[in-house]
Amino acid sequence: MKTKEDNLPAVQSVVKDESFVQIKVLFFAKARDITGLTELSMEVSSGSTTQDCLNKLVAKFPNLDEIRQCIVLVLNEEYTTESAVVKDKDELAIIPPISGG
């Protein structure tokens, strides 16, 4: 004997994949010149640090390595270190030294 529930479609649970986070990377000055971009959406593993993000960016844009030692990292509009952990929807800015006259 079939019950009413037997005729209902199976319920699928929707689970968000939390093994990755999506961040926005902003490029300024020389970093923008090297990448040709002002911003980039990037997916990284959950628990990644800003250093991990920078490593991924250098792999994608090898010429960033030439300014890597002198850039300033800004996470969500606050200066940060390479050990800071990024979270979903964070904004990471890559700011090289700016000179002018």
User: What is the per-residue pLDDT for 75?
Assistant: 98
User: What is the per-residue pLDDT for 40?
Assistant: 98
Superfamily of chain region 20-95: Beta-grasp domain (3.10.20.30)
pTM, rounded to two decimals:
0.79
| pLDDT tens for each residue of the chain, 101 residues long | 555 555 555 544 444 557 999 999 999 999 999 999 999 999 999 999 999 999 999 999 999 999 999 999 999 999 999 999 999 999 999 999 876 65
Tokens of 7: 């005729």
Q: Tell me if 67 sits within 8 A of 31, measured CB to CB.
A: yes
Q: What does the domain layout of the chain look like in residue ranges?
A: 20-95
Which residue, chain included where needed, has tokens 């509009």?
77
